Structure 1
Amino acid sequence: MTTPGEMSEADQIKTFKDFLTQYNKLSELCFNDCVHDFTSRKLRSSEDKCTVNCMEKYLRTNQRVSQRFHEFQMIANENMLALAQKSPN
């Protein structure tokens, strides 16, 4: 049995699988957008720079979306609390 704040093993596995899925999607997206020359085993500097920029942009965007979601969730919770306090018991 888990205590509040702890994740069960199943939850940890699901979280890890979700992380791997997102990582693989990001890798595929940036690879497809940035790598076009398959005549060499090494990335060209332009391809390397493109992939780094792609990943940084994705991570910044994901962070911003998460931040905005959290802000909206806080507002929704405050509105629900205010509504509950207004309604007669």
Structure 2
Amino acid sequence: MANLDLSGVSEQIQAEVQIKQFRDFLIQYNKLSESCFNDCVWDFTSRSIRSNEENCVQNCVEKYTKVTQRISERFQELQMLVNENASAAAQKLGKIPGV
């Protein structure tokens, strides 16, 4: 019976994580849409999108995506360094036996 309770909790946690990830995705998508729209759409006299506006939006999305990816990579690199430094400091203090 305990296994059923744990699996239910695990499924609930997974569902909450998925909801948070989807919410984060939507926030990023909305930021991207608003930013590129404000930067690239200038002419509201026509229903069609002008080629210079379309090119601007494509460049904006590409740049935003690359910057977001680079920031994420850099954050992961820094997090690994912080973890390594914390592990080394703990080892120095003798809290964690040598590996």
TM norm. shorter chain > 0.5: yes
Task: Name the TM-score, length of structure 2 as normaliser.
Answer: 0.80
Equivalents in 1 of 2:59, 2:53: separation in Å? 10
Q: Please name the residue that 1:41 is paired with.
A: 47
Q: Please name the residue that 1:22 is paired with.
A: 28
Q: Please name the residue that 1:65 is paired with.
A: 71
Amino acid at match of 1:2: S
- Rg (Cα) greater in structure: 2
Deviation for aligned residue 1:45:
0.5
Deviation for aligned residue 1:88:
3.2
Amino acid at match of 2:94: P
| Overall identity of the aligned pairs, in % | 57
Instruction: Provide structure 1 residue ranges, at least 5 long, that are not aligned to the other structure.
Output: none
Greater percentage in helix: 2
Q: Give yes or no for the alignment of 1:2 onto 2:42.
A: no
Bigger RCO (CA 8 Å, 6+ sep): 1
Equivalents in 2 of 1:88, 1:33: separation in Å? 55
Equivalents in 1 of 2:20, 2:83: separation in Å? 27
Q: Please name the residue that 2:37 is paired with.
A: 31
Task: Name the TM-score, length of structure 1 as normaliser.
Answer: 0.89
RMSD of equivalent CA atoms? 1.4
Q: Please name the residue that 1:51 is paired with.
A: 57
Alignment: residue pair count: 86
Moved over 4 A (4+): none
Equivalents in 1 of 2:38, 2:94: separation in Å? 58
Instruction: Provide structure 2 residue ranges, at least 5 long, that are not aligned to the other structure.
Output: 1-8
